[in-house]
Amino acid sequence: MSSKLVTFAELKAHSNKDSLYILLHEKVYDVTKFIDEHPGGDEVILAEAGRDATEAFEDVGHSDEARVILKDLLVGDFEKTDELKTKGPSSSSSHSAVNTAVEQGSNMMYFVPLAMLGAYFAWRYYSSGSL
């Protein structure tokens, strides 16, 4: 089964409420009939028209049901060009990097205030002349 190849020009041509294509994970979906049913409203989808909406789609954390609906709306694969850089499915390494940074940042949240508190009490102890 061969898949249709959608160009950037076609994607841009279908970027209004009457005919709306969305690009997710290098695949193009026709969401024209779904736009009125979208729980987040039509403005959210229209804001991502004509560009790669992968990051916005994943940031929201769509349900498995939403991903199943997408299968019925598939138009075809996106033709990669220099006009539009896509964010492919290989973004798991960036997610792990973000998670690591968050974990390290949350550890610092505890150690920095404790170190400052310790420094304050040490300063008070040594500056009071108790030695």
Region for 115 from its dihedrals, namely left if φ exceeds 0, alpha if ψ lies in -120 to 50, beta otherwise: alpha
Pure H helices in the chain: 8-13, 42-47, 54-60, 64-73, 92-127
What is the Cα–Cα distance from 117 to 119, expressed in whole angstroms?
5
Reported residue count of the chain is 131
Q: Hey, is 35 helix, strand or coil? A: coil
pLDDT over 90, % of the chain: 8
* pLDDT number for residue 97: 61
Instruction: Quick: pLDDT tens for 46-58.
Output: 888 888 888 888 8
Q: Hey, is 74 helix, strand or coil? A: strand
Instruction: Quick: pLDDT tens for 21-46.
Output: 998 888 999 988 888 888 788 788 88
What is the Cα–Cα distance from 113 to 107, expressed in whole angstroms?
11
